[in-house]
Structure 1
Amino acid sequence: MTPPPARRRGAPRRSLPRRGTVRRAQMITTYGVGSLIAVDNESFVVAGLDGAHEAWSLEEAPIIHEHRLARILGVQHFRLPPASDDDSKDGIRVRRFPLWHSCPRCDALQHVRGFNPPPGKNICTDCEEDLVPSRFVVACEHGHLDDFPYWKWVHRGNRADGASGHCGGELRLRTSGRTASLRSIRISCTCGVPEASMEGAFRRSALADLKVPCSGKRPWLKDAPAESCAQPPRTLQRGSSVVWAPVLKSALSIPPWSDGLADRLSGRWDTVREYASDPSKLAIYLQGAFPNEEISTDAVLALIEAEDQEDPDPDGSSAGQNHRYLALRRQEYERLCAGNAEADNDRRQQFVCEPPSGDSAPLLPTGLMTPMLVKRLREVRALKAFSRVTAPDSNVEVHEAALSLRPTTWLPAMEVHGEGVFLRLDDDRLERWAACTAVAARVDRIRANHERLLRERASDPAQVPDSPAEPRMVLLHTLAHALINEWSLDAGYPAASLRERLYADETMAGLLIYTATSDSAGSLGGVVAQGEPTRLAQALRSAVHRAQWCSADPLCIESEATGTGSTNLAACHACVMLPETSCEHNNCLLDRALLVGTPEDPTIGFFADLLTG
């Protein structure tokens, strides 16, 4: 990572100083544009994408193509973030934030410029001590970010209404050390006002009571003007997970898009479509455009037909975009069910999905259909935007903060080449189970809490999205978590290296568990091996028995509401919750009682028979 240099008129371009390293995948999921990152004793905000397309070299930040996902997000292609190790030529730009610092020796608290540090250093000139960035920042639900208003905080109640000028004194920050609470952090001013602690700064109305509005600042965007914002600002810890949360969209490369032909046609789609009505002219064009490669006209026409069949909602609205994203999932589900045999493909094929060779009889009592072994899989995961204060969810509406000041034709993304196992539940058994009154009652409680959360976060009360909390969805989601935890124990996979992909609505009842990283835990055949019927049946029985008991019971199994927004029932970090990167729904909409039942009513568990068999 490299912070932008001070601008000097006429000065030659110099090498930018480096400040730490992160993995490329973290630039999408953890330290993306607009996030705060701590490096040694300093803190920075990752800069926006303005100018990045020209600054990033193609060698270190290659272009990624995924035509289906690009159409939905309204971009032409994606870029892999550049590496930031010692051998890389460039890196991700960062900007210093927060700008308010304190000195641990003299306790001075002021803007970093007030310490007058020498170039390239972040020290107190008087004490020669490393400065400490402010632990507290201010953010709002529209993504704005600013320094905590220390002066207004310490002078509250000691200035006339409407007074905006400073008193001329100098602020001091010290820690009493008596406790680890906010009460021990004391702010004072040399003007003589009473010392104030940081206690109460995290109350929702703390800044509103001080009549501190949102500043509308976007420090991650260069030269970005302050926006008018009516959202109330909130005090947050600099390292809090809600300071930055990514809005991710992903897609699997499935036939006919998975053989690399669509990538080679990138940039030529408009011309190809012009000649599509006349195959002979199309063949001539392809011969001229690819003189050293034989491109099948029928294959190109098949791609065009597949694109036309995908829900072509041209309005670009968020509702239309979400509808097309659901259609994308449905296409993936159909392809995972149909499979794509390895013998029928060449080495360029990025999607290979086959049923296991073994007998599926061991799975018959479990309610699982014959699994599909996804031996070759490519996923493109793009960073569309980010949010603050409220974590994004696939159904909860959040304000999406932009990654750049001006619209771009690309987005940062990562691609994962891995493997997975696709599972489906028996539809007839699932329908009989979902019709149970006790099952419906538990899911109704989850849905009611989730719908309340959706209403609270909706910008338009008349357009609140529907909650996906249905019996089959909650069951599939909890089952995916239980199997990931089981495989992490039995097969040696870290839970964070596996990821779920749910396919649940009135026409779908499946889940894909696949490798979420492309490192040493990515594609070694270990996940596919777990999908063999005999081993899968054993893992399922073990997972169900393990889910029967939680170290937090009886509190966990008897809980009326848990999790964010009370959108879980019997689910906690001791039983079925996963690392955030492994779950599509931020550990919401979970209930292990739907797997194993409750002590009072074991029959509501879909797999309750496995506990007695």
Structure 2
Amino acid sequence: MSADRHRQDIRKSQFITTYGPGSIIEGPNGPAVILMPETGLLKHLGIHPSDFEIICEGLSKAIGGRIFQVPSNQELRREKPIWRTKMFPEWHLCPRNDRHKQYSVLYKGDECPVCHKPTDHKQAIRFVMACPRGHLDDVDWEKAVHGGKRCSRSRGRTPYFKWYRKGSTLWDIRIVCAFCGNSTTMGHIYYREWLECTARFPEREDVAGPPNRPCNCHFSQKDERKPCVLHRGALNLRIPVICSAIKIPPVMSRLGEILSDNLIKSLVRTLIITNVFNKENLEKV
């Protein structure tokens, strides 16, 4: 672990087997989602993926794209974090204290709306909403507690909830709206059938930008797979698809090595397209 309290060190291999864009990492400042390379790595460092390209034509054809390796801090000669993350989930629990002894407070914002303790006192909520189409978002706690509707007494205010825990199971957790008193259990939220999600991809958003929820992604009762509430650390929340390839390099001359360079190949293609390599021009040479 680095001395930088905002940095979480992981191995390169973990980007393939465990972490990567869209995964949730438990960092020193709480959980966060790893962003896509464009916003998480390349743009703010001013680097290009071709600087770290892996030349493997067989694998590139198989996946339909070019490949680059994830650079390390040592390779970039940087001590500060190189891959940015975005705080996720946004909802938090403020543990029971002198201001609310009987319950914890489930809220979204910079401070608890009851005891007004700041963000460093909070605990990120353990549950998120996952969609089989790859979408990921916070649970819509307001709709979950109010049977799919909004609170009629919030009057434009951000809702928050009293979190009562009486036992060790999800059914022993009761969540009560602080404005109207509507309530439900965590067990009901976790095991209910969800038929829509917000179509959000948090890994595609800017670090400090607002959540992008473009539309409601709808499902029907007949769909075998539907959105569901999961623990943010669940193994099945993000399953990487791993492709492997073995490249056996042929015995190659120096000329072959030069011609295998992507820049040279691109230049040759351009010359062919522009008809520079025609018989008349070659005879002049």
> TM-score, normalising length from structure 1?
0.35
Match of 2:130 in 1: 139
For residues 122 and 95 of structure 2, the distance between their equivalents in structure 1, rounded to whole angstroms, comes to 7
Which structure 2 residues correspond to residues 250-329 of structure 1 after superposition, within 5 A? 250-256=244-250, 261=257, 265-272=261-268
Which secondary structure state, in structure 1, belongs to the residue aligned with residue 203 of structure 2?
coil
Give the counterpart of 1:109 among 96, 101, 106. 106
Match of 2:200 in 1: 217
Aligned pair 1:164/2:150, yes or no?
A: yes
Shift, 1:54, TM fit: 4.2
TM alignment of 1:111-126, pairs within 5 A: 111-113=108-110, 115=112, 125-126=116-117
Instruction: Give the Cα separation in 1 of the matches to 2:86 and 2:260.
Output: 37
Residues 5-59 of structure 1: per-residue CA shift (max 9 Å, x gap): xxxxxxxxxxx98332211221222110011111246110001122433444579
Contact map agreement 1:24 1:83 (CA 8 A) in 2: no
CA 1:252–1:195: 2 relative to 1, 3 Å: same
Relative to structure 1, the CA distance from residue 255 to residue 125 in structure 2 (aligned partners, 3 Å threshold; closer, same or farther) is: same
Q: Tell me by how many angstroms 1:233 deviates.
A: 1.9
2:42 pairs with 32, 53, 58, which one? Answer: 53
Say which SS state the counterpart of residue 126 (structure 1) adopts. coil
Name the residue aligned to 1:226: 214
Residues 154-553 of structure 1: pairs in structure 2 closer than 5 A: 154-156=145-147, 163-168=149-154, 170-176=160-166, 178-179=167-168, 181-193=169-181, 195-203=183-191, 205=193, 207-208=194-195, 213-222=196-205, 224=212, 226-231=214-219, 232-256=226-250, 261=257, 265-272=261-268
Shift of 1:201: 2.9
Q: Specify whether residues 263 and 272 from structure 1 end up closer, same or farther in structure 2 by C-alpha distance, changes over 3 A only.
A: closer
SS in 1 for 2:235: coil
Is the 1:41–1:132 contact (alpha carbons within 8 Å) kept by the matching residues of 2? no
Which has the higher Rg, Structure 1 or Structure 2? 1
Identity of aligned residues (%): 29
Could you report, residue by residue, the CA deviation over 1:302-324 in whole angstroms, capped at 9, with x for unpaired residues?
A: xxxxxxxxxxxxxxxxxxxxxxx
Q: Deviation at 1:166?
A: 4.8
Q: What is the aligned partner in structure 2 of residue 38 from structure 1? A: 26
| TM-score normalised by structure 2 residue count | 0.70
Structure with the largest fraction of helix = 1
Whole-Å separation in 1 of the counterparts to 2:252 and 2:244: 15
1:394-432 CA-to-partner distances (Å, cap 9, x unmatched) read xxxxxxxxxxxxxxxxxxxxxxxxxxxxxxxxxxxxxxx
Partner of 2:57 in structure 1?
A: 67
Alpha-carbon RMSD across the aligned residues, in angstroms, is: 3.8
Amino acid paired to 1:32: G
Offset of 1:257 from its aligned partner? Answer: 8.8
Structure 2 gap segments, 5+ residues each = 207-211, 220-225
Counterpart CA distance in 2 for 1:109 and 1:155 is 15
Amino acid at match of 1:230: H
Displacement of 1:128 after TM fit? 7.4
Q: Check if 1:27 corresponds to 2:18.
A: no
| CA distance in structure 2 between the aligned counterparts of 1:249 and 1:264, rounded to whole angstroms | 23
Q: How much does 1:174 deviate?
A: 3.3
Q: Which runs of 5+ in 1 are unaligned?
A: 2-15, 117-123, 157-161, 283-613
